[in-house]
């Protein structure tokens, strides 16, 4: 699974993109975020407030209960500020 | 049409091209977003716009399609820049062309409101203390919510 991070989430995590093997118990976005937070203090800090975290699976916005699968492209980023 | 690009654009050329050869078009509405100097004690010397290549184009195309579903548009154009921009620089152009002004003006307003909450761009400001990420504004969410649940019949 490919994980992408943008804006201050990328800066805090210290990584723009990584390939991860999904643990068996991770089935949805909420599970993925829990697992990432447990990996490292940088993830725990960057992902502590989910009110300011958006997730896209295969380039569409999704909620925390959206399923995740190996092969998905999952992007994690703050609320957008373009325009 | 959607364009995501680092380079600047020429407003006159873009608007001319939008209506060129289509004499059904009675009017073009446009919105041009500029880099604003926020003022105050924190001087911002420049902005850097980051985006999510792939999803940006996908979301902009969806937004454009939705505008065409809601209003009778003959043409539309969204250009959004990324990279380093200075105060006064153009960031975004939204333009819509229609036989009548109501559709063009409403669709243009809709597109810029929707783009601000849906298109995956992020601004960071260069300040004397380093980069500072711009926070999303609640007003932008409120502006977008106004368009939800309104049918095309309401708009026409």
Q: Residue B152, Cα to own-chain centre: how many angstroms?
A: 21
Count: domains in chain A = 1
User: Between residues A82 and B37, which one has the greater pLDDT?
Assistant: A82
Looking at residue B147, its pLDDT comes to 85
Tell me: pLDDT of B41 over 60.
Answer: no
**Does A46 fall in a domain?**
yes
Q: In what order do the strands lie in the sheet with B75-81?
A: B2-5, B75-81, B90-98, B27-34
Give the E-state strand segments of A1-83 in sequence order. Answer: 2-5, 17-19, 54-57, 60-62, 73-77
pLDDT at B76 over 70: yes
Stretch B138-150: mean pLDDT: 81
- Asked, for residue A82, whether it belongs to a domain, the answer is no
pLDDT at B38: 66
Q: Which domains does chain B have, with CATH numbers?
A: 2-148 (3.90.1170.40)
| Residue A35: inside a domain | yes
Radius of gyration for the alpha carbons in chain B, expressed in angstroms and rounded? 16
- For residue A26, tell me if it sits in a domain: yes
Tell me which of B152 and A32 has the higher pLDDT. A32
B134/A6 CB distance under 8 A: no
Residue B154 scores a pLDDT above 80: no
Q: What is the 3-state secondary structure (H, E, C) of chain B?
A: CEEEECCCCCHHHHHHHHHCCCCCCCEEEEEEEECCCCCCCCCCCEEEEEECCCHHHHHHHHHHHHHHHHCCCCEEEEEEECEEECCCCEEEEEEEEECCHHHHHHHHHHHHHHHHHHCCEEEEEEECCEEEECCCCHHHHHHHHCCCCCCHHHHC
The CATH number of whichever domain residue A39 belongs to comes to 3.10.20.30
Of residues B74, B97, B71, the one with CA closest to residue B152: B71
- For chain A, the residues whose C-beta falls within 8 A of a C-beta of chain B are 4, 6-8, 11, 52, 56, 59-61, 75, 77-83
Range of the domain at A17: 2-77
Cβ within 8 Å of A, B 89-128: 91-92, 112, 115-124
Q: Is residue A83 part of a domain?
A: no
Q: Residue range B44-55: average pLDDT? A: 93
Give the distance from residue B45's alpha carbon to the nearest chain A alpha carbon, in angstroms.
Answer: 18
Tens of pLDDT along A27-74? 999 999 999 999 999 999 999 999 999 999 999 999 999 999 999 999
Give the C-alpha separation, A40 to B144, whole Å.
Answer: 36
pTM, rounded to two decimals: 0.91
pLDDT at B156: 44
């Amino acid at each position: 699974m490919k994980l992408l991070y943008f804006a201050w989430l990328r800066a805090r995590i210290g990584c723009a993109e990584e390939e991860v093997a999904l643990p068996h118990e991770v089935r949805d976005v909420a599970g993925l975020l829990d697992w990432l937070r447990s990996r490292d203090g940088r993830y725990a800090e960057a992902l502590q407030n989910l009110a300011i975290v958006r997730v896209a699976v295969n380039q569409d916005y999704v909620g925390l209960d959206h399923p995740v699968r190996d092969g998905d492209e999952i992007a994690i980023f703050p609320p957008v500020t373009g325009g | 049409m959607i364009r995501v690009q680092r380079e600047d654009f020429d407003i006159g050329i873009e608007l001319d091209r939008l209506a060129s050869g289509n004499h059904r078009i009675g009017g073009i509405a446009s919105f041009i977003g500029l880099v604003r100097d926020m003022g105050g004690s924190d001087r911002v010397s420049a902005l850097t716009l980051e985006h999510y290549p792939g999803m940006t184009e996908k979301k902009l195309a969806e937004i454009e399609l939705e505008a065409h579903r809601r209003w009778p548009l003959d043409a539309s154009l969204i250009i959004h820049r990324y990279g380093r921009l200075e105060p006064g620089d153009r960031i975004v152009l939204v333009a819509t062309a229609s036989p009548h002004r109501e559709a063009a003006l409403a669709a243009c307003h809709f597109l810029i409101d929707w783009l601000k909450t849906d298109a995956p761009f992020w601004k960071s400001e260069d300040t004397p203390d380093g980069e500072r990420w711009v926070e999303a504004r609640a007003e932008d969410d409120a502006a977008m919510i106004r368009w939800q649940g309104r049918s095309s019949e309401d708009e026409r």
